[in-house]
Each structure stands twice: as structure tokens, then as C-alpha cells.
Amino acid sequence: MELRSPVSPRSAYLFTSESVSEGHPDKVCDRISDTVVDAYLSEYPEARVACETLATTNRVVIAGEVRGPATLTADYIRHLARLAIRDIGYEQDGFHWEKAEIDVFLHAQSADIAQGVDASGNKDEGAGDQGIMFGYACRETPDLMPAPIYYAHKILKSLADARKSGREPNLGPDAKSQVTVAYENGKPVRATQLVLSTQHADGLSSADVRKIVEPYIVAALPDGWVTKDTIWHVNPTGKFVIGGPDGDAGLTGRKIIVDTYGGAAPHGGGAFSGKDPTKVDRSAAYAARYLAKNVVAADLADRCTIQLAYAIGVSEPLAVYVDLHGTGKVEEAKIEAALRRVMDLTPRGIRTHLALNRPIYARTSAYGHFGRTPEADGGFSWEKIDLVHALRDAVA
């Protein structure tokens, strides 16, 4: 029996997604963990990294398992972490890139895991863990992303750019956004509620902060989305001077819905940051997004959800599932078969096809892993739409 979505699509509803800035405590940790991944891949493209970071008041703890060159010493990792914190913008009494105490507890990868994952003899490289990964695409935005998360990211990115350029020196690194979007006839048409909380210089009121941020928020949204009926919540607590890891401890991997589709699509549960691309939590989620985006770009559907399932040490995916949400031009089973033909979905095949064994991950740690522009050095390669013709031919 074919699986279908249990609920038929609604045509009129409200949907909300949130985003957090690069200075959010959890995102600081994601950035540091991905900086470690990049450092290892820069030296050794076949490196194995599973790096977790904790941050609190003027303290950072980096821990995990690695396999790579001994030249990447604890002192060097500490140095890279400080550079990441400085780039984010933390030079505050409670969290300062130069003054924070940084502990590094990275040790060798488990031999038991390695023997299941590594290629040997006639055995191809296996998945780094079991798990289910989802990819999604839809026609709501130019980059084929759900509108609420796409614009929540865009708001914070524009404010971060303004802060870092010096245009808005009264803004701090820590910020959160939330966008509630009204859908009519199944399409996003306006913002009904906007939430923005941002760290700021002492002495500013919520009204002062709104005067700073409102032009950027309006500019980030489509024309006509902000109306006289839009409800604003800017720094609703009234004061946000103490922020970042000084205000709230951070951990790697706690913003997985922010990293993906804002709740508009399923999530397998695995975080991305701090993991090298042999970990299918990361690479297979990228592959699923890549395939879903190409299905929609090929005009085979207006919405597409793809699930991939893996077992640790096993190369081929256990299952490939496609849901076109009633918008498909061809049957889901045909798409499922086509996906296996147009892309090798083994861990090695994914890494080769998307060229993932490169230091391209620190940049993914904030403002979403999806809906980004592919970059010349291979960053965000999973956002390319270069399988359109192959998919059309495969389902013909």
C-alpha cells in the first residue's frame, strides 16, 4: 500500500517559523563545531569529525571524536574557536573572543565505529550511523523554500550585515526572529505577526530598537506583506543587553528546525553541525534537499518531500520515499525509482556527487543550510538544480 500524507492540504491558514542569528548561544556552538570540521577537511579530506561545543559565560568546551592529522593541536583548535567568536562579534565582558577560557577534549574515533564505516576488501564505505533524513522543496520562494523560515532567516541576515558593516553599531550579535505568514489558496500572501528580539546597547528602549530594525524587516519581506494589520513584537521583554553565551548557555545541534525548513517539513532528528560528511545525518539530508529541489525545479511537482533511511555500516539506503502532496505530474513511485538512477545514494556517492569533502561548513552554521546560493568553491552545492533534465528523462 502506498503511503500518503494523512491530512489533505489546507488552503487558508497561518504558519509560523523562527530563526536565530549567528550570535545566538547555540549558533555560536554550531559555528565553532563546523570550524573544527573545516579545519580537519582542509588538512585531510577523508577526516572523520564528530565535534560538540558548549558555551557559557566566558567559557567554551569543545569535545568529540576525530581522525585526522596530528598537526591540528588543541592550541590550534582554541585559536580557530577564538577567530570564529571574534567574527561573530563577541567582545563583551561576559563573553569575549580573546578572554574566554577554551577547553579542548577531542580524542580518536572509536575503532568499533570505524570498522563498520570504512571501506575494506569488497565492502564499500558504510553510513556513519543509522537514521532517517528528509528533504523538502516547494514553490513559495525563489529558492524553493517555505516562506516563513526563508524570510525569518533573511531578516536576521540583513540585520547582521548592518551590524557588521558598522551601519547599526547599537545592535548586538544575539538575535531571534519569528514570522507568522497567512496563506490563501495555499499561497503565502502576508505577514500577520512579526517577532524580533535583538541584543542592543544599554540605554535603548524597545521603541528605539524598533526604529532601528523596522526598515530592515520591511525590506526583507515581499512588497505588501507588511500591512496596517501586521502585529509587531520587538524586544517584548523590554531589555536585551546581556546576550549570547553569557545570557544563556549554548550547545551544538539544538536548532535543527531552524537549520532546515522551520517545521514546514519533517525532520529526522539528527543535527548537522560538527559532523563530517560521512555522517548521513548531514550528507543524506543535503542529498534529500538536493533531490527534492530538482524534482520541483523540473516541474514534476509543486511540493516534494523525500525521506532517505540508512543503517550504520550499510552503503545503500534502506528505503527511498517520496511524497508530492497531491501536486505531482507523475506517480511518486516513478520519482522514487528515478532518484536512484540519477544519483548514487551511498554515503560515498553522495559525497562525490556533491563534492562534500571540502571545508565548506562553517558558513552553513547560521541562517539555514537550505535556500542558499551555490558558491564558486562548492559551498551549498546541494542547492544546485543541475538534475532537471536527468530527472525528466528518467520518468519519461
The mean predicted confidence, pLDDT, of the chain is 94
Selecting among 176, 200, 282, 369, the annotated active-site residue is 176
Instruction: Considering the candidates 34, 38, 52, 259, report the single residue annotated as catalytic.
Output: 52
Non-local CB neighbours of 225 within 8 Å, separated by 6+ positions: 189, 190, 191
Respond yes or no: is residue 24 known to be catalytic.
Answer: yes
Is 174 part of any known ligand binding site? Answer: yes
Task: Tell me which of 46, 65, 214, 336 is the catalytic residue.
Answer: 65
**Edge-to-edge, what's the strand order for the sheet holding 319-323?**
131-138, 303-310, 319-323
228 a catalytic residue = no
Spatial distance between the Cα atoms of 313 and 238, rounded to a whole number of angstroms: 52
248 included as an active-site residue = yes
281 is catalytic: yes
Query: Does the annotation mark 254 as catalytic?
Result: yes
At 10, the pLDDT band (50, 70, 90 cuts) reads confident
Catalytic residue among 63, 114, 162, 249: 249
When pLDDT is cut at 50, 70 and 90, the band that residue 125 belongs to is confident
pLDDT the model gives residue 130: 87
Domains of the chain listed by start with CATH number: 13-20+147-242 (3.30.300.10), 25-117 (3.30.300.10), 131-139+277-395 (3.30.300.10)
Whether residue 111 is predicted with pLDDT greater than 80 in this model: the reply is no
pLDDT digits (tens, 9 = 90+) for 327-349: 999 999 999 999 999 999 999 99
SS3 16: strand
pLDDT of residue 127: 79
275 is catalytic: yes
Residue with C-alpha cell 528505503?
319
Is 246 designated active site?
no
Summarize pLDDT for 267-316 with one digit per residue, the tens. Answer: 999 999 999 999 999 999 999 999 999 999 999 999 999 999 999 888 89
pTM: 0.94
Residue 115 predicted with pLDDT over 80: no
Question: For residue range 130-171, what is the model confidence (pLDDT) as tens digits?
Answer: 899 999 999 999 999 999 999 999 999 999 999 999 999 999
| Predicted confidence band of residue 129 (pLDDT cuts 50, 70, 90) | confident
Residue 181 predicted with pLDDT over 60: yes
